[in-house]
Structure 1
């Protein structure tokens, strides 16, 4: 049986991003949640050890589509001049499971992760929030700055990182997108309306006691239980929103560590779906969104890319 006619061509990273800018990706995620998608209904991320690292398998189904992302994490790749994260996304017709589209996995992850964060910011941050402090200097930091700018036009963007040359490169990338970027004078969140963490840090990046009372914090840099970008003071002070309570308690060190210490009981965890659908009234004070990345997000954005590129 010849299946070659069923195999779609690859939508590369640049074509994917052109077809689905931040506004479109945010809209796809918002639409999925408002249409009744239940993030808790999907299977958890599968981790498969390999000799080079691990494979992550992330299948999902919703509405007219199903799909699966296969991502490789190869810690030794950067020394070879290769990306640490590899992978592809296969989008399928839900009724027949016939392949519809094949997409660049790392770029899809970049687009959907920053869009999820921006969606949370759009529902958590005050309308005039325009001063952002971003921790991290890599592609996610730049993508997050652009996506947040789509929902809260930035008046100031401070970039904090460990290496001055990486900070300078990130500032140039953000400035190239028309963002008011500069190197952060310090790692303090004082004066910031938005604090966005896009790092591989395993220890807290800032003192949560210094957060402004109206601040919104986003942390997306880890999905392991022993790593965290935020401290106990942040979770004590903030209303905490996660993509899914079960996923957060399985994978999010920013949630798991204070939860195990008795500082963050389960009943204090709110969900992004409740926020987006209006079932949650966020209390006053700082707000904190912690994401780990879920398969439904890849599916929603991949479907939007497919619909926009075939039109």
Structure 2
């Protein structure tokens, strides 16, 4: 009898979905497997879900070999705003075993998407910065900002100060309300972006801004700007950066709303200017020149979603976590 294992968000967390070192290890290993041809992705399928251009559904297939032995599809539905208890974005990932096609499980994966995105940012910080960061700025107050705050607190003991800004102050207050920090770390609420970024070694931009909020004044020697959101960084800031790195340059450059890819389509950024992708950083060990100003554009790769979901499903199987459903 074939059964499927279903994991709710609580099940995902119980099965290790919130473990930061494991999430970073998943991204690192999936990147290595992509380099060797043992992992791969197909282009996303996009389906409109109404007249609002923000209302879309995305089908994101990928496979990851090695110990993951997984092929899967993340199905993400985006709505312009949340309704009642329904969030504006829902993600569900279906996993088959790569080696024989056996269906394995269904995972609520919005939480894992935040984990893998912040894990990519962690690797960018680890491999691009000249030394461990002491001061970090986080822009935004949504789910990605929350995940990046947790990531910095968990993985970077060198950080002594985190400055946070959001366009709507009440949302930032709601994010930080009751949030435990770490001994030796000061969390600072900032009223202006310039205040948040003034002394930052790293700027983690995690907003949904449709127009740039960071210009070339934010670019400084030795500073890393990580763009997680959509069009948060101006073309001038990217042009002023000595080193431009990405998780991957792919066909999505032809349609993504990310600042870097908009700049490319406007004829203002040649792909040859990309100094390194994630594989060159974590597999080859490439490092930027000393004192370089640094910009990293995180598109978000679906093979990371599949790797994390496969690892969590395997741990759930071992621990008897989640619900099993008859399949065949």
Displacement, 1:296? 0.6
SS of equivalent residue, structure 1 residue 111:
helix
**1:147, distance to aligned residue in structure 2 (A):** 1.6
User: 1:302 aligned to 2:280?
Assistant: no
Distance 1:117 1:70 in 2: 23
Q: TM-score, normalised by structure 2?
A: 0.84
Does structure 1 retain, via aligned residues, the 8 Å contact 2:9–2:111?
Answer: yes
Secondary structure of 1:126's match?
Answer: coil
Map 1:121-160 to 2 at 5 A: 121-153=125-157, 154-160=159-165
Matching of residue 214 in structure 1 with residue 219 in structure 2: no
Q: Which residue of 2 aligns with 1:163?
A: 168
Q: Show the counterpart of 2:321.
A: none
Secondary structure of 2:4's match?
coil
1: CA distance, partners of 2:87 / 2:60: 20
Which structure has the higher relative contact order (CA within 8 Å, separation 6+)? 2
Shift of the alpha carbon at 1:175?
3.3
Instruction: Output one character per residue of 1:192-251: Cα deviation in whole Å (capped at 9) or x when no partner.
Output: 0110111110111123323331111111112xxxxx111123212321111221245231
Instruction: Indicate yes or no: 2:2 matched with 1:6.
Output: yes
Cα-to-partner distance string for 1:17-43 (whole Å, 9 max, x where unaligned) = 341311110111111222435599421
Counterpart-to-counterpart distance in 2, 1:62 and 1:40: 4
**CA apart distance, 1:279:** 5.2
1:177: how far off?
6.7
CA contact (8 A) 1:133 1:196 kept: yes
Structure 1 residue 176: Cα displacement: 5.3
Using the alignment, how far apart are the partners of 1:249 and 1:203 within structure 2? 18
Query: Tell me, which stretches of 5 or more residues in structure 2 are unaligned?
Result: 319-328
Structure 2 residue corresponding to 1:71, chosen from 59, 76, 81? 76
Q: Secondary structure at the match of 1:230?
A: coil
Q: Is residue 39–residue 243 contact of structure 1 (8 Å, CA) maintained in 2?
A: no
Q: Under a length normalisation based on structure 1, what TM-score does the superposition of the two structures give?
A: 0.88
Q: Does 1:61 align with 2:66?
A: no
**In 1, are the aligned partners of 2:39 and 2:63 still within 8 Å (CA)?**
no
**How big is the shift at 1:144?**
0.9
**Cα distance, 1:186 vs. partner?**
2.4
Give the structure with the larger helix fraction: 1
- SS at 2:177's partner residue? helix
Question: Which residue, out of 21, 24, 29, partners 1:23?
Answer: 21
Secondary structure, aligned partner of 1:123: helix
Superposed displacement of residue 85, structure 1? 0.7
SS at match of 1:89: strand
For 2:213, the equivalent position in structure 1 comes to: 205
Q: 1:263/1:280 Cα in 2 relative to 1: closer, same or farther (>3 Å)? A: farther
Per the alignment, residue 183 of structure 1 pairs with 189
RMSD value, Cα: 2.3
- Aligned length in residues: 301
Tell me: CA distance 1:210–1:73, structure 2 relative to 1, closer, same or farther (3 Å).
closer
Query: Is contact 2:39–2:303 with CA below 8 Å preserved after alignment?
Result: no
- State the alpha-carbon separation in 1 of the partners of residues 267 and 123 from structure 2: 29
Deviation at 1:309, TM superposition (A): 2.7
Q: Which residue of 2 aligns with 1:225?
A: none
CA distance 1:310–1:26, change in 2 (3 Å): same
